[in-house]
Structure 1
């Protein structure tokens, strides 16, 4: 499959190139604002994934502390 076969191959490349050009023209304050925004987005992604893992764990937790075998009595 070539770039011509994809619906978005070159468009995506052009968008990335445009972003790189924009970065060169940004002031220091704008670059700092973008960096903070990116950090916030990453933090929210991490929190969301943590919530998903926690929900999965609750879904699979052991009901009524069920044991597969009797406790060992000494």
Structure 2
């Protein structure tokens, strides 16, 4: 039986990747998850992702955002 995983990216450092050209941190493209982390293909699971737009820093979290998060 295949498992399903949903990765929800709200923003912040954990979802950043270094741009090789500028060396700046930029948001990770979760649509390319298997390209950047190919070992995930070895697991019997389907991984989907949802990225908030605009991204929000954890210091800006509030109850109204928690409601949006719960709806996802």
Same fold (TM over 0.5): no
Greater RCO, 1 or 2 (C-alpha within 8 Å, sep 6+): 2
Task: Select the structure that is richer in strand.
Answer: 2
The TM-score, its normalising length taken from structure 2, stands at 0.21
The TM-score, its normalising length taken from structure 1, stands at 0.20
Give the structure with higher Rg (CA): 1
Task: Select the structure that is richer in helix.
Answer: 1
